[in-house]
Amino acid sequence: MPEIAELKEIARRIRIDVIRMLAEAGSGHPGGSLSAADLVTALLFAVMRHDPKRHDWSHRDRFVLSKGHAIPVWYAALAEAGYFPREDLLTLRKTGSPLQGHPDRNRMPCLEACTGSLGQGLSVALGMALASKMDGSPFRVYCLMGDGETQEGQVWEAAMAAPKFKADTLCAILDYNKAQIDGYVKDVMPLEPIKDKWVSFGWHVIPINGHDFEQILGALKEAAETTNQPTLILADTVKGKGVSFMENVVDWHGKAPNAEEAAKAVAELGAN
């Protein structure tokens, strides 16, 4: 397993790539991509079983990005892991590119699901988790959700079903950055007491700082050791993490930086 310092460096590079991709595309979602960078880094580079040379390996762990608008962070992570050339990142959202603005597994087979219609990813991930149990396969399923997304009713249907079927190969991760496109989550539709709600549905809930790699890795290990119930990692994160003028600013949910803003952002992130 990589050292914490190495994971921090990978996450830094991923954040830089996210900014550059969005600036080149002229559209996209920086806030929720940046908030998820540490979670994604821990998953892909320290926890998940996967092979860039075998997209269809049956024993690979599955990752479903339910908040599909944050796909730039997953593209950047996949490029970092060697799934495709890093220079392809700059084709984000361009006509003919497999790097669409939301995940499209028909264009990019290494993606597990087409997502972007919010609230659907947990149901998809639950189906995969049940398949792993029915088939006796060792793969685990990770589903990254947005907090605003969990205002959708379908999330709670899946949240009820997963404990019923003892889906212990399923680990949901809530990127709790507290802002969505229309404003702060607490003002649009409050989620609290969010931990108590998931516990009452029968989930094993692990609250963490979503930017602390020791806590992230510890939670993922605990999830893998939990039996007979699914796990929710409640990750307290910062919208736009790593770029001072984007942090906790709702406007950066779905607005790409211009050239000047991008230069300032990558400088803050330590790009040379």
Nearest to 2 by CA among 37, 41, 50: 41
Domain boundaries, given as residue ranges, for the chain: 4-268
Using only the alpha carbons of the chain, give its radius of gyration. Answer: 17
The model scores a pTM over 0.85: yes
pLDDT level of residue 36 (50, 70, 90 thresholds): very high
18/9 Cα distance (integer angstroms)? 14
Q: What is the pLDDT of residue 249?
A: 95
Contacts of 86 (CB under 8 A, 6+ apart): 17, 79, 80
pLDDT of residue 252: 95
pLDDT for 223-246, tens place per residue?
A: 999 999 999 999 999 999 999 999
Q: Per-residue pLDDT for 188 more than 90?
A: yes
Query: pLDDT category, 2, cuts 50, 70, 90?
Result: confident
Q: What is the pLDDT of residues 154-179, one digit of tens each?
A: 999 999 999 999 999 999 999 999 99
Q: What's the CATH code, domain 4-268?
A: 3.40.50.970
Residue 142 backbone dihedrals phi, psi, to 5 degrees? -115, 135
Whole-number percent of the chain with pLDDT over 90: 95
Q: Tell me, what DSSP letter sits at residue 98?
A: S
pLDDT value at position 110?
A: 92
What's the confidence (pLDDT) of residue 116?
86
- Residue 272, pLDDT score: 59
Residues 6 or more apart whose CB falls under 8 angstroms from that of 52 comprise 78, 81, 82, 83, 110
Contact 40, 144 (CB under 8 A): yes
Rounded Cα distance, 115 and 239, in Å: 21
pLDDT of residue 68: 95
Share of the chain above pLDDT 70, in %: 99
> Between these two residues, 49 and 138, which has the higher pLDDT value?
49
Range in 54-58, 144-148, 249-253 with the lowest mean pLDDT? 54-58
Q: Tokens at residue 175, please? A: 């990127």
Give the per-residue pLDDT at 29.
96
Q: Which two tokens stand for residue 204?
A: 């094993």
Distance CA 181, CA 52 (A): 33
On average, the pLDDT of the chain sits at 96
